[in-house]
Every structure is written in C-alpha cells, then in structure tokens.
Amino acid sequence: MASRTSPQAVQRLFAAGPHADHRAHLATYGPQDRGGSVTLFGELERSGLTGRGGAGFAAWRKVLATDDARTSRAMAGRPVVIANGAEGEPRSLKDKTLLEHAPHLVIDGLLAAAAAVHAGSTYLYAASRSLEPIAAAITEREDADSIVLREAPDTFIAGEASAVVNGIENGIALPQDRIRRLSDTGLKRRPTLVHNAETLAHLALIARYGSGWFRTAGTSRDPGTRLVTVSGDVPQQRVMEVPGGAVLGDMLLAAGVDIAAVGAVLVGGYHGAWVPADVLDAPLSADGLAPLGAAPGAGVLLVLGRRRCGLRATADIAGYLADQSARQCGPCMFGLPELARMLGELAAGIRDKDLPARLRALSADVAGRGSCHHPDGTTRMIASALGVFRDDVHAHLAGRCLAAEGR
C-alpha cells in the first residue's frame, strides 16, 4: 500500500534554511563525527540509501567496492572520491538547488566518504553556476581545502560517471568503456568513487544520525527522502523534498498542478519513461514504478498537459538526445538520429503504417549495443511513448492529432 504521507511533511536537506552558511549549518545539524569506515559501511547498508543520480544503485555497495579495490590491489594507489553535481538532465534542478542552499551537507558527505575509503584526492564536479556557492562554502571551513573543484560542461552526458572521470582527467567529458569499473580503475587508474551530490548529502546525515534515523522517513522499501523536480506544464518549476513512497499525484497537487489537466508524466527525466495520467496514484519508488516500466531516475516529473501532443514532445526529446550523444559508437552516430527522424515523421502525421514497427525494431537494435548507456535510456523513453500514446499513434497515422482535437 503506497504511503499517503504529505510530500511536504519532511524537510531534511534544507533544514538550515536558504543559502545556509557554515554557522547556520552547524547550528542546525551539529558537528559531524565521521567515525570509522566499518561503522559508515554498516550504517549505509542498513539505511537502504540508493543513489540519487539516476541509476538507483545501493550507495553502500559503491563505497565498499572502492575500499575493497584499495585493500586488494597493492599498487592501485589511494582512492579518489568525486561529488557529481553536473546535472546534465535539462529538466532537473535538484542538484543545483542543493549546492546553492545546502553546500555544506554535500561537502560533509564528500569528506565522510573520503575518510571511509582512505581517499588521497577529493573532487567536486559541477556546472559553472554551482561552483561559486561551493567555493564560498569551502572558504568558510578548515577541513575542506583539499577539495578540488572542476567545472562540468553543459551537456546531457557530462554527468555520466565515466564521463565525469574523463572530464576531470583529460578535459573531455565523454563516457568511456561501459564495462570498465571505476571502483577498480578510475581517475588515473586509481579506485574511484563517484556519487551524486544529493546522495552525499544524505550520506552526511546518515554519518551523523545513523541508519535508524534515516529510515524514520519514507517506507520500509523506500526509506529516507529524495529531491524531486516538477517541471513541464506546471504553474512554476520547483524542487521538492519528499519522503520515500510519496505518491505521484500528491506531489503534483503540492506543486499546484491541476491533475485534471494532466495528460501524462515523464518520470525520471529524459532517460525515464512516460506514464499515463490514470496511474498517478503510484508511488515514486522503484517497486511502485516497476509495473509501469518506470523508475525514479533523477527525480524528475515532467508534466505533459492534455492539450500537448505526447508524440511531438517525445520527438523533440529524442532529437535533443540524438544531438547530445557522444558520437563514439554506431548506435549513437546513426541509430539515435534515425529514431529521432522517424519520431518526427510520426509526430508530423506522415501516413506510414509501418513507422511504429520500424521504430520498435530499430530501438531493439540500438539498445544494449552502445559504448555507454545513453542509447539504452533513449530507447526506453521512446518505447514508453509508443505504449502510453498508442491512441495518438493510431490517430496520427490517420492524419489526426488527439491533443489538437482536445482529446
């Protein structure tokens, strides 16, 4: 049963107030005792914290894998820990908001993770707009001068973990071999931990208060809180902190959205999946969204109004993603542009009854064959559109548009 907890009932990450300086941060959260690595590993595992950057991996596994590589490879060198605030997803504002208003939580989490794996280097990687508040926060502290700031380019793929490492090491923020494990051989071939900025902020609170405290919010299967960006056809784009198990429709209502005017929601961002308006009672959790073919992803809820065409919106997104590819493999160089072209024809009402089948066939050929996961995320979003907007597909093939007709 989905939790009906008010999506505005929990405020943890922004409890120190807007633009919190170090004094306000300490007054709110108290000092952080980083303790030993074994203690943090155990608390992270018991907390159930998952990564908030998109993939949703168990946070403790990445930390432990990095430490294991340090201890098992004598010549590996001391690990590297990177806070990833690149936020290449254009519909997400959560990391920008977090770095602007709660930079010290991210710094705390970065330093706690670095201490746990006995790191030799720490980096914070973010877009230029986010580096200024972080740089100011670092100057307020005596324990953060070892953190190196690196600017992330304004591209969709700049936040992919291997692209983060490549960008810091070589100045080229493009994904690298998808089978390479960064925890084994990352930056300068050293064991490397890359965690999203929000993940590290939660880690900082778990290091302070423990796993039991973390789990007092959310549900047993989706503990804690997460940041969500509500955008699209909404009164105002906004970032909300919500408990695990918060229901999609409740979050939209809290953001001032007229539910009756919603046609569909793209959940998770541009690499996410469309869900229809009649399933907005689903929780924003891995378990709750799995039956819909969706996942929380980067915590984006992109609202599509009933009078906007879902096929047109999908074609525009696919075109953007094709333009943003690394162009390092066939699926990105040829597959994604062709998918975007065919979607554009379908959205334009080209009466080719074979278009949907060709789209599905090419998506199947592209998925799983790229040098990175960019083609996979793109084809997942397209597949969801062909399902959720199936009535629109039939209408467009007949020369009509349901959105233009007011459905």
Q: What is the pLDDT of residues 266-317, one digit of tens each?
A: 999 999 999 999 999 999 999 999 999 999 999 999 999 999 999 999 999 9
Tokens standing for residue 343: 């979607």
Alpha-carbon gap, residue 89 to 300, rounded angstroms: 9
pLDDT, tens digit (0-9, with 9 covering 90-100), for 199-213 = 999 999 999 999 999
Dihedral Cα 159, 164, 168, 170, nearest 10 deg: -110
How many degrees, rounded to 5, is the angle at CA 205 between CA 201 and CA 207? 110
Question: What is the identity of the amino acid at 302?
Answer: L
**Hey, what domains does the chain have and what are their CATH numbers?**
22-214 (3.40.50.11540), 310-397 (1.20.1440.230)
Per residue in 333-360, pLDDT tens?
888 999 999 999 999 999 899 999 999 9
Q: Give the pLDDT confidence score for residue 1 in this predicted structure.
A: 28
Answering whether pTM is above 0.85, one says yes
- Tell me the C-alpha distance between 167 and 82, whole Å: 12
* pLDDT(71) > 70: yes
Alpha helices (H) in 210-353, listed in sequence order: 211-214, 248-254, 286-289, 310-323, 330, 336-347
**Residue range 95-111: mean pLDDT, rounded:** 97
CA 11/CA 278 separation, integer angstroms:
29
Residues contacting 350, CB < 8 A, separation 6+: none
Residue 7's pLDDT band (cuts 50, 70, 90): low
Work out the average pLDDT over 123-128: 96
Q: Which residues pair with 275 in a beta bridge?
A: 265
Q: Is the pLDDT of residue 10 over 90?
A: no
Distance between CA atoms of 129 and 97, rounded to whole angstroms? 11
CA neighbor of 240 nearest in space, from 94, 92, 96, 56: 94
Side-chain-facing half-sphere of 381: CA atoms under 13 Å: 32
